[in-house]
Amino acid sequence: MAERALRGTRLGATSYENDRNTDLAPRQEVTYDCTRGHKFSVTFATEAEVPVEWECRFCGDRARRRDGEGEEPKNAKPVRTHWDMLLERRSMEDLEEVLAERLEVLRARRREEAAKVEELADQQ
């Protein structure tokens, strides 16, 4: 009997639960204004931290909260690149010296490879 009751239904595709007798979490609706003039609302839980900026759902640009509340984005340190860290450890003269050494190693390796190619060509 139970097998017949499930026949013909799309198991997992639809939920047979309903929202009766359930209490939803308290919510708040926050309005955002896009730099291109779009206006939209996003629903958050009341206890959630609401971001100052949100991606515009129409154009993908940044949108700011309409009420202007919330903390401003913090000024972060600029990202240190590999070059910046390298300059902290070595001077330009040291770097030029290291570059000259590495170039000489590469040139020597190419000379060796060229000599091997010539040797193989001579053997054939």
| Strands 53-55, 39-45: pairing kind | unpaired
59 annotated among ligand-binding-site residues: yes
Query: Which residue type does 113 have?
Result: E
Report which DSSP code applies to 12.
T
Q: Is 65 annotated as a binding residue?
A: no
31 marked ligand binding residue: no
Interatomic CA distance for residues 60 and 51, integer angstroms? 16
Rounded alpha-carbon distances, angstroms, from residue 115 to 7, 102, 110, 111, 112: 78, 20, 8, 6, 5
**Residues in the annotated binding site:** 34, 38, 56, 59
**Residues in the annotated binding site for Zn(2+):** 34, 38, 56, 59
